[in-house]
Amino acid sequence: MKDRLGAILHPAQEQYLDRLLPPRDALLREIEERAQRENIPISDPEVGRLLQTMARATGARRILELGTAIGYGTLWLARGAPTARVVSIDLDKERQEVARGYLERAGVADRVELVQGEALEILPTLSGPFDLIYVDAVKGEYRRYLDQLLTQMPVGGTLLFDNLLWKGQVAQPPETGGEPEADAMRAFNGYLMIHPQLESVLLPLGDGVGLATKSKPLILDMGGPY
């Protein structure tokens, strides 16, 4: 979620874009209000809409999410791909139980598998491939997530990473004393944009979203190493 109005875009333009967003239904608004009240990090509404759009546009059948929180992004993904299976990982068991309640109320819980634990430990145990992957978890682990996720997706698969502009701080010089997450995102953004197996773009949406597709196979995909 973006830190404040105007952190990424100028306030006037951001207010205009916010006004263009269609109203969310009562359940999504309830999740948004709870997240704000309890200071729980969730996706911005415009990012949620992107998730739903990408889930639908890609025709995803298997979706992976790193960072369930209370199920906001999970719900957008599940609604965008009404026949897909969604696997969502989070370390916080209590938040996942809250997410389960919202997903049940939305009528999508039977298509969502909530997995509790450390993402880096769970990823090697999953049975891929996943057509669409959304990452909104520990910022300092994004590069390690990406390295593992590329082995779990086919060529043509889609990746989304949230918070890549980190409150606008990534554009500031590192020596200005920004938050550690800004340093992690700054380093990750360069890795994402030059990765030889990806075609990537960074969008000034929400708190910054990276959108990438796997354009080339890994050596592992071709039966290597040789």
In a domain, 192, yes or no: yes
**Does residue 211 form part of some domain?**
yes
Q: Is the pLDDT of residue 178 over 80?
A: no
Domain membership flag for residue 2: no
* Within a domain: 226: no
**224 domain-assigned:** no
In a domain, 123, yes or no: yes
134: which strand partners? 65, 160
- Answer yes or no: is pLDDT of 120 > 90: yes
223: confidence class by pLDDT, cuts 50, 70, 90 = low
**Length reported for the chain:** 226
142/146 Cα distance (integer angstroms): 6
Q: Give the model confidence (pLDDT) of 142-165 as tens digits.
A: 999 999 999 999 999 999 999 999
Q: Is residue 222 part of a domain?
A: no
Binning pLDDT at 50, 70 and 90, where does residue 79 land? very high
Q: Give the total number of structural domains in the chain.
A: 1
Predicted local confidence at residue 222, as pLDDT: 63
- 149, 160 Cβ separation under 8 angstroms: no
Rounded to an integer, the average pLDDT of 76-102 is 97
What pLDDT is recorded for position 27? 98
CATH code of the domain containing 102: 3.40.50.150
* Residue 30, in any domain of the structure: yes
Predicted local confidence at residue 217, as pLDDT:
85
- What confidence category does residue 127 fall into, taking pLDDT thresholds of 50, 70 and 90? confident
201-220: per-residue pLDDT in tens? Answer: 999 999 999 999 999 987 67
Q: How many CA atoms lie within 13 A of 219 on its CB side?
A: 4
Structural domain containing residue 37: 11-216
Q: Dihedral sign, CA of 56, 61, 66, 68?
A: positive
pLDDT tens-digit profile of 191-204?
Answer: 999 999 999 999 99
Share of the chain above pLDDT 70, in %: 96
